[in-house]
Structure 1
């Protein structure tokens, strides 16, 4: 079953492909795309277990590989050639691993928003899988509104006001808990390949893939990660002031301008 896709803009314009985060959908990008669709062909995909792709189940042992195959099929169905891949959080992790594994000559730029690059040690991965397994059990067994409410109580979302959290919770309430639980485990950070070697090898290539990383000023966890990426891998990093983990929803115009700048630079 193919991933649900939503397109806006002129197909003859440069193509942007958007991958949302956990609990999200194609709708998350609407405000940003309103500022881009006049100059770009914008393609949004619903990831497995989310939105109109909720019935698609990723295998637990090969979740990333399965997502890559579905993304490639979606791009082929839409007859997309050269494109920029934009991923937020979970979508960013999938996008980064896609770039690592697919060696796709049509992928011209990679834009990552608040995305982790993987864990190195077996101990860290075991701890993370235990953490994700606990959340998966909550999503699969608890009331969906309660599970989502608890999700947004995590430290990474501490910058959100009560009204912002309420808006997000209401917009996420149409999700199905069991589908979310499956996707959470299939694409757990514990199952993600450590991206440090890929980032290092890409940096040293003559024809390196341009990778742009952005984070919110209020998101201390990913602010620290971005600093590390800038020093260790010379990655192009950008801070968005006065926002947290979800930049494209808190500052859609600035985020759209950021994307346009990277592509035209």
Structure 2
């Protein structure tokens, strides 16, 4: 049993079906991929969880246990506890950065990996320092959200960012917002400070040594991540980019059926080991 984490997780075990571990993005929770899982049905078994700083997962101890390095090791320990020696892995945004870190550091644990709107972090120290500065500004805004209404206003502003396209027009946006409001702003601030893009180590140099097949999903309206993922595929020979039409950053919400189809097609084999 892990002494520094009390993970809130959900396990759906379909007999003799391989597991998919889903990792949500910043401000998400273990329900992030519920509709995807419902559509996939009994083709797979599933593990979803609240990442540190999100939902009902508890971090016990120092702030360092929110970092990507510590969180990755904790997830491997959780897989061991649940007797899941190897699985498929799907990560979205922040969860995608974590998924890539897991892939590159624990490749023997994953058959194939799908990264949705993800990145390997920032390549240079000046870029990382500037991102840490910006993330600290966002974290301070979160710490000032002392009421539900203030937190709601923060979220509405968050989804005004260009990478999210017109997600606020989506019929499921209101219900997604309600789910996001279940998080605790102070915990989210800590997560951002210790597992934000500027805080994590750059993974760009490690991409060339990757040994796990990667599917990089990116929305056609997410210009920033189109460039990032194209560059990733040029470095990593086991990575393929799939551009999803009529989507921005949150593909699994905006283009759920196409997202599910990509998961089905990419994870079709029945591995023996």
Given the two structures, how large is their TM-score scaled by the length of structure 1?
0.90
SS at match of 2:63: coil
Contact 1:9 1:39 in 2 (8 A): no
Q: Among 148, 158, 168, which residue is 2:155 paired with?
A: 148
Asked if the contact 2:163/2:221 (under 8 Å) is kept, the reply is: no
User: In 2 relative to 1, CA 69–11 (structure 1 residues): closer, same or farther, beyond 3 Å?
Assistant: farther
**Unmatched 5+ stretches in structure 2:** none
Q: Retained in 2: the 8 A contact 1:213–1:236?
A: yes
* 1:129 partnered with 2:132: yes
Matches within 5 A, 1:48-127: 48-53=52-57, 59-60=63-64, 63-103=67-107, 105-127=108-130
Q: Distance in 1 between matches of 2:170 and 2:85?
A: 41
2:40 to 36, 53, 69: 36
The equivalent of 2:187 in structure 1 is 179
Q: Note if contact 2:220-2:243 (Cα within 8 Å) is conserved in structure 1.
A: yes
Q: Using the alignment, how far apart are the partners of 1:252 and 1:42 within structure 2? A: 17
Partner of 1:226: 229
* Alpha-carbon distance change, 172 to 58 in structure 1, aligned in 2, over 3 angstroms: farther
Q: Secondary structure at the match of 1:6?
A: strand
Preserved contact between residue 213 and residue 238 of structure 1 (Cα < 8 Å): yes
2:204 is matched with: 196
Deviation per residue, 1:156-210 (Å, 9 max, x gap): 11332345554432221121110000001110111222222211122xxxxx211
| Matching residue of 1:7 | 11
Structure 1 residues 217, 106: closer, same or farther in 2, change over 3 A? same
Q: Aligned equivalents of 1:248 and 1:129: distance in 2?
A: 27
* 1:115 to 1:57, Cα distance in 2 relative to 1, 3 A: farther
CA distance in 1, matches of 2:113, 2:170: 32
State the partner residue of 2:244.
240
Structure 1 SS opposite 2:6: coil
Q: Deviations over 1:16-75 (max 9, x none)?
A: 000000010111101100122311001111101111215667724871122112211221
Stretches of structure 1 lacking an aligned partner (at least 5 in a row): 203-207
Among 138, 141, 146, which residue is 1:138 paired with? 141
Per-residue deviation at 1:231?
Answer: 2.8
Equivalent position SS for 2:10 = strand
Per-residue deviation, residues 204-262 of structure 1 (Å, max 9, x unmatched): xxxx2111111111111111222222333342111111111111112222212111211
The Cα RMSD (Å) is 2.0
Q: Does 1:158 align with 2:165?
A: yes
Which residue is equivalent to 1:16? 20
